[in-house]
């Protein structure tokens, strides 16, 4: 039994070949001369590239086999459209196309409904972005995309924002080896702060059991509605430290409230 064997869509990833640049150019020359078997070898020899790309989408809860198959479609499109005369590495050309194919798949399966007109503008903008990226070997600006589409820049931005995937409040955005910082830790709470007076008394009694710094952090976070970053700047410590102190203080308060209850 082989170690590190992982199968995706029935493919044993530990046995995938790796083509050298010379082998790639030779196969592309054969393909462009009409040898379709060279296409099959190019696909098989670049499946590792698809695997490396789909790792970027691991946190979306999508089926890995589905992402792999969609990525392979992007790979085949890249192989069919690659031009040896451009003097660009195939991986540089293929990765944006594989990513684009996966993003289109994720957008089409997005549970949030977006109007047809917005979706059409967004798709055209993404096609133009991919085209300009391949031509200029850099990410184009929104202004350049809007000029190509002959549309106001604001319309392009709005359309692209509309098709973005929703982000979980519990998605980690930073990790320094301790407790992770989540999206919800970056959000200011602007809701009405009026609470039942009994609950407020219980919370303040529990807060009195904390040190002054912990009290200040919790007051700024939950009574003033400030983000962890704002608290960190005001107190003069890192956001990671604020996150750890906040969690520790809440756990201490929970123990006190349970005892009192």
Contact 89, 64 (CB under 8 A): no
Is 0.75 surpassed by the pTM of this model?
no
Read off the DSSP letter of residue 223.
I
Residues 6+ apart with CB under 8 A from 75: 43, 46, 47, 49, 50, 94, 97, 98
State the helix-helix crossing angle for 116-136 and 90-108, rounded to 10 degrees: 170
Look at strands 7-8 and 11-12 and give their pairing: antiparallel
Q: What is the pLDDT of residue 150?
A: 92
Structural domains of the chain ordered from first start: 1-89 (no CATH), 110-166 (1.10.10.10), 172-260 (1.10.10.10)
Q: What is the pLDDT of residue 196?
A: 43
Q: What is the pLDDT of residue 186?
A: 58
- 10-residue block means of pLDDT along the chain (261 residues)? 44 70 86 87 88 79 83 90 80 86 78 69 88 86 90 85 64 60 58 46 69 84 80 86 85 65 46
CA distances to 40, 49, 93, 185, 189 from 80, rounded to whole Å, are 11, 16, 12, 45, 51
Quote the Cα angle for 167-70-51, to 5°. 85
């Amino acid at each position: 039994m082989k170690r590190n064997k992982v199968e995706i869509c029935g493919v044993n990833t530990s046995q995938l070949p790796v083509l050298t640049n010379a082998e790639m150019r030779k196969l592309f020359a054969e393909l462009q001369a009409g040898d379709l078997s060279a296409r099959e070898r190019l696909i098989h020899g670049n499946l590792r590239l698809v695997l490396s790309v789909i790792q970027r989408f691991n946190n979306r809860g999508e089926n890995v086999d589905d992402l792999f198959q969609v990525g392979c479609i992007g790979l085949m499109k890249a192989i069919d459209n690659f031009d040896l005369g451009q003097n660009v590495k195939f991986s540089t050309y293929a990765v944006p196309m594989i990513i684009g194919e996966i993003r289109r798949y994720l957008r089409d399966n997005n549970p949030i409904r977006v109007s047809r007109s917005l979706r059409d503008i967004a798709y055209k903008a993404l096609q133009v972005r991919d085209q300009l990226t391949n031509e200029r070997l850099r990410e184009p600006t929104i202004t350049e995309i809007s000029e190509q589409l002959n549309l106001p820049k604001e319309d392009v931005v709005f359309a692209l924002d509309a098709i973005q995937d929703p982000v979980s409040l519990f998605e980690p955005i930073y990790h320094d080896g301790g407790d992770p910082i989540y999206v919800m830790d970056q959000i200011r709470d602007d809701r009405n702060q009026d609470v039942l007076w009994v609950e407020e008394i219980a919370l303040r009694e529990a807060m009195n059991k904390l040190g002054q710094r912990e009290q200040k952090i919790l007051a700024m976070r939950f009574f003033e509605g400030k983000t962890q970053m704002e608290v960190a700047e005001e107190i003069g410590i890192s956001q990671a430290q604020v996150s750890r102190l906040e969690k520790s203080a809440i756990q201490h308060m929970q123990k006190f409230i349970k005892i009192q209850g």
